[in-house]
Chains A and B, each alone.
Chain A
Amino acid sequence: KQEVTQIPAALSVPEGENLVLNCSFTDSAIYNLQWFRQDPGKGLTSLLLIQSSQREQTSGRLNASLDKSSGRSTLYIAASQPGDSATYLCAVRRSLAGSGNTGKLIFGQGTTLQVKP
C-alpha cells in the first residue's frame, strides 16, 4: 500500500530564507507527483507536476525534484516571503502497472509553512 509522508509537519522561517520541504513515498511505482499549496479555508492550488521520467520541475521561485528510486521528492522555495505561508501538500499518482485506479492521487498530510516578516 502506497503511503506518503511529509516531514516536518510545521516549519517557521524568517523572510528571505531558502527552504526545502520533504515528501517521501513507500512504493516507487508512481506515475507522477504533484505539489499543491493550500491556504486556510481554501482549496488546493496545483504548483508543480513531475512526471516519473523527469527529475525536476521549476516555476518561478519554486523547484521540485523527484528521485523515484529512493522514494523522495523535495520542494525548494527560494527567497521565501510572508505570502508563501500556507500548507504544502504532495501527492503521488499510482502507475497503471500497479493499480486499477488510473487517476487516483495519494496525499501526504502536508507541511504548514509560516514565513515571518
Chain B
Amino acid sequence: NAGVTQTPKFQVLKTGQSMTLQCAQDMNHNSMYWYRQDPGMGLRLIYYSASEGTTDKGEVPNGYNVSRLNKREFSLRLESAAPSQTSVYFCASSKGGGMRQPQHFGDGTRLSIL
C-alpha cells in the first residue's frame, strides 16, 4: 500500500524561486494536511483541507498557498521562496473531518532555500 506519497523527496531552491510540493493519498481519505518540521519547533500545521473543495489556514500559513486538486491530491506552493522556509515538509491525511481518525503521514520533502 502506497499510503501518502510526497514528491519530490529533496529540493534545493534559490531565494525568490517558486516551487510546488505534491502530495497524493490512495486511502480514499477526506481530509489532508501540510505540516513543516523544524528543529526546536516540532511539527506545525501550515494548511489543511477538511474535505475536497475546502482549504483552511493552520498555524503558519504565511508564504504558502495550497490547492486541493481532487480528493486524492493536495499541493503546497511556495510563490517566492525564502531561507526561513528551509524545512522538512510533511503531508498527512485522515479518513474523516479529523477529530476521531488518526492522521497518516508521508515520508516528507526536504527543502533547502539558499
The residues of A with any CB-CB pair to B shorter than 8 Å are 4, 31-32, 34, 36, 41-46, 49, 51, 89, 91, 93, 96, 101-105, 107-110
Contact = CB atoms under 8 A, between A and B. Distances in A.
Contact of B40 (A89, A91, A101, A109): A109
B99 A102 contact: yes
Given A51-B100, A102-B98, A105-B45, 12 more contacts: A4-B42, A31-B100, A32-B100, A34-B102, A44-B90, A44-B92, A49-B102, A89-B42, A101-B56, A103-B31, A104-B59, A110-B42
A46 B102 CA distance: 7
Interface of B: 4, 31, 33, 40-45, 48, 50, 56, 58-59, 90, 92, 94, 97-100, 102-108
A44 B90 CA distance: 9
Nearest to A46: B102
B105 A44 contact: yes
Contacts of B42: 4, 89, 107-110
Contacts of B98: 93, 102-104
B96 to A, nearest CB: 9
Given A103-B50, A104-B48, A93 B99 contact: yes
Central interface residue in B4, B42, B108, by most chain A CB within 10 Å: B42
Contacts of A31: 99-100
A25 to B, nearest CB: 13
Report, nearest first, the 3 A-B pairs whose CB atoms are least far apart: A103-B98, A44-B105, A43-B105
Contact of B33 (A41, A42, A103, A108): A103
B49 to A, nearest CB: 9
B99 A43 contact: no
A105 B103 contact: yes
A2 B90 CA distance: 21
Contacts of B106: 43
Contacts of A102: 50, 97-99
28 contacts: A31-B100, A32-B99, A42-B107, A43-B107, A44-B43, A44-B90, A45-B105, A46-B103, A46-B105, A49-B102, A93-B98, A96-B99, A101-B48, A101-B56, A102-B50, A102-B98, A103-B31, A103-B94, A103-B98, A103-B103, A104-B45, A104-B48, A105-B43, A105-B103, A107-B43, A107-B44, A108-B42, A109-B42
